[in-house]
């Protein structure tokens, strides 16, 4: 059996948790490091790209769940500036998958009134992906239900370096709030909650500027297995945290 049909068989048995009812009050601004696709695939003797494909399903579920729960901004880490170091076949398969996903899923996101915006260095991306990104941002630009930021060829250090370069040319005077305006998406709020799946407990160059005071939540679930109930568990933990921002 090909890995594609094995993956489809697996999917048939997954709980969708589509109708899950949220009882926890959600944070407004949530960011996610979607990690563990490779290990999910390896555990099932599937190629890494099968894990990424299942990860895309998990992303669809999480977007819907966040929207239903009332999250206003969701920022997801899809591809880092360091991920180019992976085997060429994996990178190429990922790029093809992203192009396909944008084409297929953005119209549905548009129907759900989700505004899609990409953050990251675009110049390194193929012309084809760049054109799909522009198309997605233009199509969904007026939507108000939820904002989805997709970090793609994104690095926190690259973002700060790019912001510094832009600021240097714009007479920047050293004010923190003003510096934030040079970030890739200046309209994005600092995440209140940052979730990372797969048991790894690190930032991996994600939103270094914006996560200064984010609450961190680590889940042992691999990203393709992460569902609405896991999201709710993260919200519950977040609601019990005491956020002080350095004050008493």
The minimum distance between CB 86 and Mg ion, in angstroms, equals 10
Nearest to 112 by CA among 59, 169, 63, 149: 63
Give 141 or 199: the residue with its C-beta nearer to Mg ion.
199
Site for ligand IPE (CB under 6 A): how many residues?
A: 16
Can residue 112 be called a binding residue for ligand IPE (CB under 6 A)? no
| Angle, CA 142 vertex, CA 139 and CA 144 arms, to 5° | 125
| 204 Cβ contact list (under 8 Å, min separation 6) | 33, 35, 77, 80, 82
Q: Could you confirm whether 83 is annotated as catalytic? A: yes
Q: How far is the CB of 90 from Mg ion (least distance, A)?
A: 12
Taking the C-alpha atoms of residue 165 and residue 132, their distance in angstroms, rounded to an integer, is 27
Hey, which residues between 31 and 70 contact Mg ion (CB under 5 A)? 35
State which of residues 20, 30, 37, 207 lies at the interface with ligand IPE (CB under 6 A): 37
Q: For the chain, first and last CA: distance in Å?
A: 60
CB of 170 to ligand IPE, least distance (A): 30
Per CB under 6 A, does 78 bind ligand IPE? Answer: yes
If the CB atoms of residues 17 and 83 are measured against ligand IPE, the closer one turns out to be 83
Number of Cα atoms under 13 Å in the Cβ half of residue 141: 7
Q: Which of 8, 19, 35, 239 is catalytic?
A: 35
Which residues are known catalytic residues? 35, 83
């Amino acid at each position: 059996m090909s890995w594609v049909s094995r993956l489809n068989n697996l999917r048939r048995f997954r709980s969708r948790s589509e109708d899950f009812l949220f009882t926890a009050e959600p944070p407004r601004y949530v960011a996610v490091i979607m990690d563990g696709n490779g290990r999910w695939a390896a555990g099932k003797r599937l190629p890494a790209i099968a894990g990424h494909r299942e990860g895309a399903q998990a992303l669809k579920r999480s977007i819907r769940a966040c929207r239903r729960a009332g999250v206003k901004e969701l920022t997801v880490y899809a591809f880092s500036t360091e991920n180019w170091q992976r085997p060429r076949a994996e990178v190429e398969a990922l790029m093809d998958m992203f192009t396909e996903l944008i084409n297929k899923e953005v119209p549905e996101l548009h129907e759900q009134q989700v505004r899609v915006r990409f953050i990251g260095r675009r110049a390194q991306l193929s012309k084809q992906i760049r054109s799909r990104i522009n198309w997605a941002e233009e199509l969904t630009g007026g939507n108000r239900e939820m904002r989805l930021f997709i970090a793609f060829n994104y690095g926190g250090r690259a973002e700060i370096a790019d912001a510094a370069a832009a600021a240097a040319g714009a007479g920047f005077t050293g004010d923190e709030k003003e510096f934030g305006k040079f970030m890739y998406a200046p309209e994005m709020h600092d995440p209140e909650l940052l979730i990372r799946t797969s048991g790894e407990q690190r930032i991996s160059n994600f939103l270094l500027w914006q996560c200064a005071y984010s609450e961190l939540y680590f889940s042992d679930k691999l990203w393709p297995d992460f569902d609405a109930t896991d999201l709710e568990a993260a919200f519950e933990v977040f609601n019990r945290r005491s956020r002080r921002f350095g004050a008493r």
